[in-house]
Amino acid sequence: MEPMEEPLRGIGNLHLDLSDGIVAASESGEVPSTPSMVYTDVNVVPEHDNEVSVPAISSFQDSIFLKAEISALRAKQRSLDVKRREALDKILDIKGSIRVFCRIRNGLSMDNKKIMSPISTGLEKITVRSVGTRKEFNVDKVFPQDSTQEDVFLEVEPILRSALDGHNVCILAYGQTGTGKTYTMEGTNDRQGIVPRAIEELFRQVSKDKSTSFSLSMSMLEVYMGSLGDLLSQRHPSARTMNSIPKCSLSILTGSNGTVEVEGLTDVMVPDLKHANRWYARGRRARATCWTNVNEASSRSHCLTRITICRSGDKVEGDKVVSKLWLVDLGGSERLLKTGATGQTLDEGKAINLSLSALGDVIAALKRKRNHIPYRNSKLTQILSDSLGDGSKVLMIVHISASEDDVAETICSLSFAKRVRAIEANVSEDAKKQKEKSIAELEQQIHDTEEELHKVRSQIERVENMVQENNKLFLNDDQKGSPRSPLILDQIEIVGSPQTTKKVIGKTCHTSVPHFMASTACSRQRQSAAGEVNSKLRAMRFGNKSSANFLGSQFLSYSGPYLLANSRSSKSKQVTCEANISKCRHSLFSCNPDNASQNSTDLKPPNLPRNKKVSTSQPNFRVTPHQHRRRMSDLT
């Protein structure tokens, strides 16, 4: 017998079993309360219910399309990023992986008198006149006396991007005591140096790139008289006197693949710029300084700031990449006689000079591609060994004084620079021009790619906002505050290209229902009967948009894209579907304010056993979904 042809005597307490996506009703023999729940046949979805949910479906579809759009934009972003990285790598390769800049301290002597300078500069050339001789030195870039901190940082910036791209990077400030190494690296409060600017820039870049997740950590250490001190350790004496030199408690470990780690070195996670700045300020305070005749706040040690960048690519890129950015303020090279150093200060000066000489040997050996690189000659070179060699980018900023008094030290420092960049020194003019041309082209390519990247990022942001808006709309379309809409939307994951997704969407949202739900001749007859019943009951409905209708009938097709996109086996489909339905079953009662207000006498809280049979005066309503399906097949 057809269930819907019998006059409906009434549906009382509504009990649902959604375990198979079928909404049924029960009765207590009293007032009909939820007529929209009476569909015993999943094929019977009266027209008005479809109409009711059209805005919801549209919002839903929009969301899927928008997510597909985001997916495509992210793919584009990744390919642009790869293009940018490749161009940057090429530039750095052409320029050389070890580069030397020279910064000249402004023309003030220690007693602040203007002096005649023995130095004249070109863009990449420095000429030093001394006792009737004239010496020329080539570097990659000269920063004359009037250069600002910004000028210096602009040239340093590209190498930071290399660190974010996964290369180990080392930026070292070298030079005679008092020539401005600490000024260049740390700067002052109003003229920040490379380190604080680099930290800021890293966080800026990281926040721009939403398709990749970065985590940054920071360490600071000093190499003092051949010993290592942890500047971020709680135990480090921040106000140290000459007699309280910290004992070396750190040792250097080298892994089989050449990676270096300092055992026991404090490494703090820095989730944001504020944390990073706080830790950096703390490390700075701890750095050893004492008085010398030359510089009132002379650094008696090498200060190394390490930012470890952990880049985990998105689903496409896969593995994590860890890179290190070393920002090193080297101790001042000095002629010990001139500084008048004695005792402890003399020893400190000797230690600094020895390690600087070891650093020069290492870089020179790397430049000449020697088989043996003498990393082990000093603690400084041991620590930096995995960030100076193959695949790393090294930038040394040699600081010199413009003062006549310092000319001997200036020549020493520039000779060091010459040794470090020796191989690059004898390049023909033609080759130089060709290099410059290639660099200019690549820089233009990077510029264009970055502009495009910027556009893509803002497009992604816009579409993401639209998705959010759409989610809200979707919620409002159905029932404000219902938790199930976001539940359903969140399950949609665009796995393939937009084309693939459209296919999936087409299959599930527009045209098809699951095969077992396809209508038959009998079910179409029953549908018209159900339509009649429903129109009779419409008056008694407790809202225009029945969540039960939506959930019981349309939910299955809504879960379709998710199932199709993510589940390969029918078993997993079933599990997902059941899980969703059980959530919906809960939301159906607990979150439908209309239900609660209009049917408070009839509707009971949904403490239902999962397969509880529904009961109505209609024998046909007393079926579990399982029985119901069997009956359907009997009829067709």
Question: Is 175 among the annotated ligand-binding positions?
Answer: yes
Minimum CB distance to ligand ATP smaller for 22 or for 303: 303
Give me the DSSP letters along 509-551. III---GGG---HHHHHHHHHHHHHHHHHHTT-S-SS-HHHII
Minimum CB distance to ligand ATP smaller for 144 or for 166: 144
CB of 106 to ligand ATP, least distance (A): 5
Minimum CB distance to ligand ATP smaller for 229 or for 560: 229
CB of 363 to ligand ATP, least distance (A): 19
Question: Is 308 among the annotated ligand-binding positions?
Answer: no
Contacts of residue 132, defined as CB under 8 A and 6 or more positions apart, other chains included, come to: none
Contacts of residue 175, defined as CB under 8 A and 6 or more positions apart, other chains included, come to: 181, 330, 332, 333, 398, 399, 400, 413
CB of 338 to ligand ATP, least distance (A): 13
Assigned token pair, 611:
């397969």
Minimum CB distance to ligand ATP smaller for 182 or for 618: 182
Provide the 10 A C-beta neighbour count for residue 478: 23
Question: Is 506 among the annotated ligand-binding positions?
Answer: no
CB of 204 to ligand ATP, least distance (A): 25
CB of 286 to ligand ATP, least distance (A): 15
Q: Tokens 């040997």 — which residue?
A: 361
- Cα dihedral: 234, 239, 243, 245 (round 10): 40
Contacts of residue 630, defined as CB under 8 A and 6 or more positions apart, other chains included, come to: none
Q: Residue 341: phi, psi to the nearest 5? A: -70, 140
Minimum CB distance to ligand ATP smaller for 118 or for 332: 332
- Long-range (24+ apart) CB contacts under 8 A made by 45-51 are 45/527, 45/549, 45/553, 45/554, 46/527, 46/530, 46/531, 46/534, 47/531, 48/534, 48/535, 48/538, 49/546, 49/549, 49/550, 49/553, 49/554, 50/554
Name the amino acid, one letter, at 340: G
CB of 375 to ligand ATP, least distance (A): 24
Handedness of CA 417, 418, 420, 423 (dihedral sign): positive
Contact 32, 8 (CB under 8 A): yes
Assigned token pair, 295:
């510089």
Q: What is the CA radius of gyration of the chain?
A: 37
By CB under 6 A, name the binding residues for ligand ATP: 105-106, 175, 177-183, 295, 297-299, 332, 399
Minimum CB distance to ligand ATP smaller for 183 or for 224: 183
- Residue 404: in which H helix or E strand, if any? none
Minimum CB distance to ligand ATP smaller for 295 or for 549: 295
Task: Tell me the β-bridge partners of 101.
Answer: 141, 397
Question: Is 391 among the annotated ligand-binding positions?
Answer: no
CA distance 278 to 549: 57
Contact 554, 45 (CB under 8 A): yes
CA distance 477 to 4: 29
Contact 240, 246 (CB under 8 A): yes
Within 330-455, strands assigned E span 393-401
Question: Is 343 among the annotated ligand-binding positions?
Answer: no
CB of 175 to ligand ATP, least distance (A): 6
Assigned token pair, 279:
């830790």
CB of 180 to ligand ATP, least distance (A): 3
271: region left, alpha or beta (phi > 0 left; psi from -120 to 50 alpha):
alpha
Question: Is 182 among the annotated ligand-binding positions?
Answer: yes
CB of 241 to ligand ATP, least distance (A): 18
CB of 367 to ligand ATP, least distance (A): 24
- Residue 587: in which H helix or E strand, if any? helix 570-590
Minimum CB distance to ligand ATP smaller for 181 or for 418: 181
Minimum CB distance to ligand ATP smaller for 69 or for 186: 186
Minimum CB distance to ligand ATP smaller for 287 or for 379: 287
CB of 334 to ligand ATP, least distance (A): 8
Question: Is 176 among the annotated ligand-binding positions?
Answer: yes
Give the pairing of strands 213-224 and 302-312: antiparallel
Question: Is 389 among the annotated ligand-binding positions?
Answer: no
CA distance 61 to 617: 40
Contacts of residue 383, defined as CB under 8 A and 6 or more positions apart, other chains included, come to: 221, 223, 228, 252, 260, 262, 304
Minimum CB distance to ligand ATP smaller for 408 or for 596: 408
CB of 413 to ligand ATP, least distance (A): 11
Contact 387, 324 (CB under 8 A): yes
Task: Tell me the β-bridge partners of 134.
Answer: 129
Name the amino acid, one letter, at 318: G
Task: Tell me the β-bridge partners of 125.
Answer: 138
Minimum CB distance to ligand ATP smaller for 24 or for 402: 402
Binding site feature residues: 175-182
Binding residues for ATP: 175-182
